[in-house]
Amino acid sequence: MGVALDHPSNFMTTKLRQAVNWGRKYSLWPMPFGTACCAIEFMGSVSSMTDLSRFGAEAVRFSPRQSDLLLVAGTISYKQAPILKRVYEQMAEPKWVVAMGVCASSGGFYNNYGTVQGIDTIIPCDIYVAGCPPTPENLLSALVQLQNRVQHEGLDAVKERHSDSQTA
């Protein structure tokens, strides 16, 4: 990035990719797909003590069409699975997914007939957050990690990700 203060029109040069990603990473709109205990800790993350809005992610939307960050907070059962998939599909690109807690990441200690063994068996997933449930600080750390990733993505990250998920 270059800043030209001595030029009469005070302009700045940067790469389009950097400028766009800079905007994207500080305005993530999360959609909490809260099913279980982790959703309570998500409430903790947005409330005054840790305050998610400090990281530009306070515009919580419960409609997938208005959000670009899917926060899967809680256990996904097989009964819930088709709904999660549809919600993911309803989100517009670019979109990112965070698996909050071990249940969403791997099924956790629910290795049984009702529980999906990790959401990445259904939808692509960007960040996995450890903990049962993760503390709000843990979730914030995941958010910062995701922001770093967003900053370094290509502008056609959508295509890249989708080709990834097909080959994976």
Partner 1 sequence: MTARPLEILRERFAADLIESSDYLGDASVTVRRESLIDVLRFCRDDSRLRCVLLLDVAGVDWPGRKERFDVVYLLRGLDPGCRLRVKVRVAEGGSVPTACGLWKSAEWHEREAYDLFGMKFDGHPDLRRLLTHHQFEGHALRKDYPIEKGQMCYVPELLLTDEELSGGAARVGYGPDTVGLSDADEEIQSDFLPVNIGPSHPATHGALRVEALLDGETIVHSRTEIGYLHRCFEKEAEDHTWQQIIPYTDRLNYVSSLTNNVGYALAVEKMLGVTVPERAQVIRVIVGEMGRIMDHLVCIGANLVDIGALTNFWYFFNAREWMYKVVERLCGERLTTSYTRVGGLYRDLYEGFEDDLTLALTKVEEGLADVTGLVQRNRIFMDRCVGVGVMSAADALSWGWTGPCLRASGVDFDLRKVAPYSGYETYDFDIPVGENGDAYDRILVRIEEMYQSMRIIRQGLERMPDGPIQSTDRRVAMPPKDEVYNSIEGMMNHFKLVFDGIQVPAGEAYGFTEGANGELGFYMVSDGGGHPYRMKVRPPCFPIFASFNSMMKGQMVADAVATLGGLNIIAGELDR
- Residue numbers of the site for partner 1 (CB under 8 A)? 33-37, 39-41, 43-44, 47-49, 62, 74-75, 77-84, 86-87, 109-117, 132-133, 135
CB nearer partner 1, residue 21 or residue 32: 32
Give the shortest CB-12-to-partner 1 separation in angstroms.
38
Nearest CA to 75 among 43, 122, 35? 35
Backbone phi, then psi, for 12, in 5-degree steps?
-135, 140
Distance, in Å, from the CA atom of 57 to the CA atom of 45, rounded to the nearest integer, reads 11
H-helix or E-strand containing 56? Answer: none
Work out how close the CB of 53 gets to partner 1 at its nearest, in angstroms, rounded to a whole number.
Answer: 12
In the complex, minimum distance from the CB of residue 128 to partner 1, in angstroms, rounded to a whole number = 18
Residue 28 vs 34, nearer CB to partner 1: 34
Helix (H, G, I), strand (E, B) or coil at 1: coil
CA distance 133 to 166: 30
Shortest distance, CB of residue 59 to partner 1, whole angstroms?
14
- Name which of 87 and 143 has its Cβ closer to partner 1: 87
> Cβ closer to partner 1: 41 or 120?
41
Contact 65, 90 (CB under 8 A): yes
